[in-house]
Structure 1
């Protein structure tokens, strides 16, 4: 996606160097439609510069800082030297992420997606999540909930979530807990199985969550939850344990949740 407006002073932009002169470097801004900036020779690198080409080359992708914008003359003054390595790395990664998201828009809505609809959908994601990439990322993690408050229709939401979950790699965390399930009542082992089925969620666990219940050693069972973030993981772990305990108590047994595995002499 390319923005139609103008960058702001102080903003970091990605540019492709398309012309080099003795007095400076012309840069085609990759994130803006039909916008070109100038890096004066004094802003190319620190210290005295004998030959600009010793520092940059045509076709090079550079991260620049916007020094000044004059819309009346369509002049954008840029600096390369004012961008440190950390800023450069983060901005390039951000730009690459937006390129990925741009491709995902095509996957979600087809190559024939009209520019007006593209802009409408993109603006909703930008307005609620700050970038196309973050919009897709949140849709991958939280599903349609991430699109609450937007003006996207149901078909657009479905397409975004489906595409996001097929293409976005999100970080996951894993938490583990244990439940002791004992059932001296007549239902015995069958009652324990009922509790374990309840712990597994009966199919009601969110799509982005992987919940696994395994046998450790009587009467202990391990609950392992993999989720996009710790809050979701901890909430699902707690809910799983509560379901198991409620179910076993309903069978006439007892249940107890703990975070660490018990040793034989405890």
Structure 2
């Protein structure tokens, strides 16, 4: 997908070196339709430059910072030297991600989708998530719920979710907590077993969350959660510990939840 408008001053853009002149470099902007900018020789690299070709070559993909935009004269001034390595790496990755998302859009709606229809759907994702990739990633993780606040209709939502779940590699996080369970009652072992059963219950968990409970060493048990993001993981972890505590305390026992293993268990 290419944007039809103009970049903003301060924005980082991906471009391809189109022409190299003694005074600077003309850059074809890869994210904008029919837009190209100029990197003056003084903005190619720091220090004195004898030959521009010592620093760039035709066809090279570069990341530039937009210095100024003059729509009336169709001029975009760019800088290569003002982009550090970290910014360059992140921008290139974002650009590649958007290229992936563009392909996922075509998978969802067909290669022959009209440009205006594509733009309307894409703009809904951009307005909600800031990028196509982020929109598809959210749809892969949370399904149709992720697109409830967009203006997309049910068929469009279904198509995006289906394409996302077939193509997006969902990132997951893992969190771990520990709970000490004690019960002095004669049936204390059974009480603890019931508490562990409560802790491991996944009836209220969504399909994209995995939870497990394992024995560490009396009276300590480990709760592990795998989820698409930290908030979901932490919520599931705390809920698991609360279920165990409620169960054992209702039967005369006690529970102590903590995030680190006890030193004497190492």
Q: After TM superposition, where is structure 1 displaced by more than 6 Å over at least 4 residues in a row?
A: 185-188, 262-265
The number of aligned residues is 263
Structure 1 match to 2:113: 113
Structure 1 match to 2:139: 139
Tell whether the 8 Å contact from 1:183 to 1:248 is kept in structure 2 after alignment.
no
Structure 1 match to 2:181: 180
Once residues 64 and 119 of structure 1 are traced to their aligned partners in structure 2, the CA distance between those partners, rounded to angstroms, is: 25
TM-score in terms of structure 1 length: 0.83
Structure 2 match to 1:59: 59
Provide closer, same or farther for how the CA distance between residues 182 and 83 of structure 1 changes in structure 2, counting only shifts above 3 A.
Answer: same
For residues 24-72 of structure 1, give each alpha carbon's deviation from its aligned partner in whole angstroms, at most 9, with x where no partner exists: 2221100001111122223222333332212111100011122222222
The Cα of 1:196 is off from its aligned counterpart by: 3.8
Once residues 263 and 22 of structure 1 are traced to their aligned partners in structure 2, the CA distance between those partners, rounded to angstroms, is: 67
Partner SS state of residue 57, structure 1: coil
Structure 2 unaligned residues grouped into runs of 5+: none
The Cα of 1:226 is off from its aligned counterpart by: 2.0
2:17 is the counterpart of 1:31: no
Provide closer, same or farther for how the CA distance between residues 76 and 178 of structure 1 changes in structure 2, counting only shifts above 3 A.
Answer: same
The Cα of 1:118 is off from its aligned counterpart by: 2.1
For residues 91-114 of structure 1, give each alpha carbon's deviation from its aligned partner in whole angstroms, at most 9, with x where no partner exists: 212212211222222333343433
Partner SS state of residue 6, structure 1: coil
Structure 1 match to 2:255: 256
Provide closer, same or farther for how the CA distance between residues 172 and 152 of structure 1 changes in structure 2, counting only shifts above 3 A.
Answer: same
Once residues 188 and 84 of structure 1 are traced to their aligned partners in structure 2, the CA distance between those partners, rounded to angstroms, is: 60
Q: After TM superposition, list the pairs within 5 Å mapping 1:77-226 onto structure 2.
A: 77-166=77-166, 167-180=168-181, 182=183, 189=190, 195-217=195-217, 220-226=220-226
Tell whether the 8 Å contact from 1:140 to 1:161 is kept in structure 2 after alignment.
yes
Once residues 200 and 178 of structure 2 are traced to their aligned partners in structure 1, the CA distance between those partners, rounded to angstroms, is: 13
Once residues 31 and 263 of structure 1 are traced to their aligned partners in structure 2, the CA distance between those partners, rounded to angstroms, is: 54
Provide closer, same or farther for how the CA distance between residues 112 and 257 of structure 1 changes in structure 2, counting only shifts above 3 A.
Answer: farther
Once residues 214 and 76 of structure 2 are traced to their aligned partners in structure 1, the CA distance between those partners, rounded to angstroms, is: 62
Tell whether the 8 Å contact from 1:141 to 1:228 is kept in structure 2 after alignment.
yes
The RMSD of aligned alpha carbons is 3.0
Mean CA deviation greater in 59-68 or 105-114: 105-114
Partner SS state of residue 224, structure 2: strand
Structure 1 unaligned residues grouped into runs of 5+: none
Partner SS state of residue 87, structure 1: helix
Provide closer, same or farther for how the CA distance between residues 178 and 28 of structure 1 changes in structure 2, counting only shifts above 3 A.
Answer: same
Partner SS state of residue 225, structure 1: strand
Tell whether the 8 Å contact from 2:174 to 2:224 is kept in structure 1 after alignment.
no
Tell whether the 8 Å contact from 1:175 to 1:233 is kept in structure 2 after alignment.
no
Tell whether the 8 Å contact from 1:181 to 1:253 is kept in structure 2 after alignment.
no
The Cα of 1:209 is off from its aligned counterpart by: 1.7
Once residues 254 and 95 of structure 2 are traced to their aligned partners in structure 1, the CA distance between those partners, rounded to angstroms, is: 51
Provide closer, same or farther for how the CA distance between residues 264 and 84 of structure 1 changes in structure 2, counting only shifts above 3 A.
Answer: closer
